[in-house]
């Protein structure tokens, strides 16, 4: 029994141009929805015009392509760097940071176009379904969500790629197969991820040709490359490289250049097993070139200019919480709002410059200075100059610190 197109409402689909979302687009039309397609340009290497033409060809009534690169860098990437946020100590949150700007733009367009629903092509086992939908519900509680990969009628009809290909052939959906690359990817200007396929075995070494962004560290130049990054209130405000005459201050241009210089030096690869929010362990390989450099430089500068107790409090209470909020898709939440307001308060004095050496996959800090912050006193720190520090003062400090240890030691000796 056929259903009249649009009889069930209007849907804005987060569209990639790939096999899954192209089939979802047509399937939604078959179910009786008018489908509008939405693509977010977050820096991925994509032929957006070809995707636009494809979406229109297979039935989308409208296609929206939004350039969100600057929003991503200024609103999400830089605050994540300021917080030194990671997930499970190693993952730099590359996929996670892009989801809030993508979801926010999708909701805004859906509301403007009078859509009754939004939809996405996220798997029913992954984190992204959670990230997108929590954002949808926080930003537009009345919007309805269609998640095809959680609808039995859909996932039972399409149990695998072959079923999707058969449907595409039946419906005249253009597809391009890449059997030589059996893994899935997600890319934005912060990073690219690789998972699934042959990578599901955590003991399989990724093939050399999998890595898309960075040169193999073994094949990187034999000469180190030096750059200088300047921060103001914890935000990168300038990058210079005398070797290629680079001097950039625009946030987006600066970050794109850091990606370029990191990629040619093989910087930013990791291969990990992580715990997804929904409770499943997942193996993922990631390239985060510019972000790896920026985070290393930022952490180093904080050692020079940030008060010890402020840094300790931030590291204990804000950094892990911010990482968890981002990873779990809770940016648009009371705790997410709190974290984004707290991070800048810890960065007021993070002003200065860091000299970085890039060499065959490594990021080494070779110097740092600040013209405005004076917590570091060379004379006071020197082992060769007394300065205004009186060594005998340390005796009283040690005695105070040892009071409880002496009591503990006496009790320990009494037991033995």
Catalytic site positions: 20, 99, 128, 184
Report the distance separating Cα 187 and Cα 192, nearest Å: 4
CB 23 within 8 A of CB 167: yes
Cα separations in angstroms, 92 against 9, 18, 97, 373 = 39, 26, 9, 28
**Cα angle, residue 129 at apex, residues 124 and 134 outer, rounded to 5°:** 140
User: Which 3 state secondary structure label does DSSP give 296?
Assistant: helix
**Can you tell me the distance from the alpha carbon of 83 to that of 343, in angstroms, rounded to the nearest whole number?**
6
Two tokens at 26? Answer: 């047509």
Beta-carbon contacts of 365 under 8 Å, excluding residues fewer than 6 positions away, are: 296, 297, 300, 354, 355, 356, 357
Contact 74/344 with Cβ under 8 angstroms? Answer: no
Angle at the Cα of 328 from the Cα atoms of 327 and 330, rounded to 5 degrees: 110
């Amino acid at each position: 029994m056929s259903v009249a197109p649009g009889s069930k409402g209007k849907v804005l689909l987060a569209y990639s141009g790939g096999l899954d979302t192209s089939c979802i687009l047509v399937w939604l039309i078959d179910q009786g929805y008018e489908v509008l397609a939405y693509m977010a340009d977050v820096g991925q290497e994509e032929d957006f015009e070809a995707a636009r033409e494809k979406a229109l060809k297979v039935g989308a009534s409208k296609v929206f392509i939004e350039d969100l690169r600057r929003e991503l860098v200024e609103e999400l990437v830089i605050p994540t760097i300021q917080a030194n946020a990671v997930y499970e100590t190693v993952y730099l949150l590359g996929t996670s940071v892009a989801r809030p700007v993508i979801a926010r733009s999708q909701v805004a367009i859906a509301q403007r176009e009078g859509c009754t629903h939004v939809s996405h092509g996220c798997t029913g086992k992954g984190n992204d379904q959670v990230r997108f939908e929590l954002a949808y519900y926080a930003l537009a509680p009345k919007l309805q969500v269609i998640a095809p990969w959680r609808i039995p009628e859909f996932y039972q009809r399409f149990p695998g790629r072959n079923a999707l290909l058969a449907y595409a052939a039946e419906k005249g959906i253009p597809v391009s197969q890449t059997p030589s690359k059996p893994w899935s990817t997600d890319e934005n200007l912060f990073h690219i991820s690789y998972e699934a396929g042959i990578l599901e075995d955590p003991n399989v070494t990724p093939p050399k040709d999998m890595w898309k962004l960075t040169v193999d560290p073994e094949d990187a130049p034999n000469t180190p490359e030096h750059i200088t990054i300047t921060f103001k209130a914890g935000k990168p405000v300038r990058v210079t490289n005398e070797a290629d005459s680079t001097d950039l201050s625009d946030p987006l241009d600066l970050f794109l250049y850091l990606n370029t210089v990191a990629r040619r030096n093989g910087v930013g690869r990791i291969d990990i097993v992580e715990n997804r929010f929904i409770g499943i362990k997942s193996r993922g390989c990631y390239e985060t070139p510019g972000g790896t450099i920026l985070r290393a430089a930022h952490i180093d500068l904080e050692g020079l200019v940030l008060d010890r107790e402020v840094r300790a409090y931030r590291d204990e209470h804000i950094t892990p919480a911010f990482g968890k909020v981002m990873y779990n898709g809770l940016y648009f939440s009371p705790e997410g709002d709190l974290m984004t307001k707290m991070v800048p308060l810890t960065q007021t004095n993070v002003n200065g410059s860091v000299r970085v050496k890039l060499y065959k996959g490594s990021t080494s800090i070779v110097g740092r200075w600040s013209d405005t912050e004076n917590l570091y006193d060379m004379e006071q720190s020197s082992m060769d100059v007394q300065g205004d520090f009186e060594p005998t003062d340390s005796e009283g400090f040690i005695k105070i610190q040892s009071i409880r240890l002496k009591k503990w030691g006496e009790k320990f000796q009494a037991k033995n």
